Amino acid sequence: MNKFVAAVIQLDSQDDVDKNLNTVVSFIREAAGRGAKLIAMPESMNYIGMDNAGHSEVVPGGRTFQLMSEQAKKYNVWLHCGSIYEKSPDDKRPYNCTMVINPKGECVAKYHKIHPFDVVIPDGPVNKESDRIFPGDKIVTVDTKEVGHLGLSICYDMRFCELYRLMALQGANILMVPANFTMNTGKDHWEAILRTRAIENECYVIAPAQIGIKPKFQAYANSMIIDPWGNVIARASNRPEVITAMIDLDYVQKVRKQLCTLANRRPNVYKL
């Protein structure tokens, strides 16, 4: 389908997995009732607390996957499950993992966050996500054949433009950016970066976010859907909620013919 409704779920996930998942299920029901065919969730949708490894699961097969699989089949929708912590067979640290589930309840793609948020400021704050999360090393896109060709990323990845350009060159026309973004950086950077990713790659950007006070910071929220021209066509309010927008994949092609950014690339001179 070239036109369909996409929904973004904005959440205030905390450390109660049961409560978080119950909230997600109720919002999926609402989104499906509003005609959404693609429903997207934020980073850490099922758990935000101080024990990531202890709340990691098998993907696919774990508790959260099984529940999301049931919901996808029940409502005949595509689910982009934000991210959860996935057990790593190679490390005690879990992956930060995105799942994409089709209307048959099958996991058709998963992505492990490539860029840990590692910040070390002399005489200032230190935050090393790599101490808690095992980073992935694969760029992942998935052509759903129904709700677009999705390029997968998570939160801090959004600052690395190379990732999104490569996904666009692989055919992505919708860039997925689930996040738990901080208020401090979000107020200045969140929208600016997301709109840039949409404009420079001539893609839709779907960015579900967390809201609320988390263990280490206040989340910025402002979940949004952005069109390939860079217009914000849906934005969440200051609460957990569902927002929707019409996605028109023909519009992606129209913009690409007008701006020609991808067509006018000169990779032969792009050398370090």
| Residue located via tokens 């959860």 | 84
Please report, for the domain that includes residue 207, its CATH number.
3.60.110.10
Whether pLDDT at 266 is above 80: yes
HSE-up of residue 31 (Cα within 13 Å, Cβ side): 35
Domain containing residue 117? 3-269
Q: Which of 48-52, 117-121, 142-146, 252-256 has the lowest mean pLDDT?
A: 117-121
Inform me whether the pLDDT recorded for 43 exceeds 80.
Answer: yes
Residue 113 is a catalytic residue: yes
Helices 161-169 + 183-201 axis angle, to 10: 30
Q: Which residues fall within 8 angstroms of residue 258, CB to CB, at 6 or more apart? A: none
Q: What is the mean pLDDT of the chain?
A: 96
Catalytic residue among 37, 110, 113, 214: 113
Please give the average per-residue pLDDT across 115-142, as a whole number.
89
| Per-residue pLDDT reduced to its tens digit, 164-196 | 999 999 999 999 999 999 999 999 999 999 999
Tens of pLDDT, residues 201-224: 999 999 999 999 999 899 999 999
Given 81, 107, 155, 203, the catalytic residue: 155
pLDDT value of residue 123: 79
User: Tokens in use for 156?
Assistant: 């801090």
Q: Which residues contact 173 (CB under 8 A, 6 or more apart)?
A: 148, 149, 203, 204, 228, 249, 252
Instruction: Judge whether 92 counts as a catalytic residue.
Output: no
State yes or no: pLDDT of 1 exceeds 90: no
Distance CA 112, CA 120 (A): 23
Helix spans in the chain (H) = 17-33, 63-75, 161-169, 183-201, 249-259
61-116 pLDDT, tens digit per residue, is: 999 999 999 999 999 999 999 999 999 998 999 999 999 999 999 999 999 999 99
Residue 172 and residue 197 in contact, taking contact as beta carbons nearer than 8 Å = no
Coil, strand, or helix at residue 192? helix
Confidence tier at 121 by pLDDT (50, 70, 90): confident
Kindly indicate the confidence band of residue 120, based on its pLDDT and cuts at 50, 70 and 90.
confident
Domain count, the chain: 1
pLDDT tier at 122, thresholds 50, 70, 90: confident
* Confidence category of residue 2, pLDDT binned at 50, 70, 90: very high
**Alpha-carbon gap, residue 179 to 207, rounded angstroms:** 7
End-to-end CA distance of the chain: 40
Residue 142's alpha-carbon distances to 149, 158, 243, in angstroms, are 6, 18, 23
Choosing from 37, 43, 129, 203, the catalytic residue is 43
Q: How confident is the model at residue 56 (pLDDT cuts 50, 70, 90)?
A: very high
Note the pTM of the prediction, 2 decimals: 0.97
Residue 229 predicted with pLDDT over 80: yes
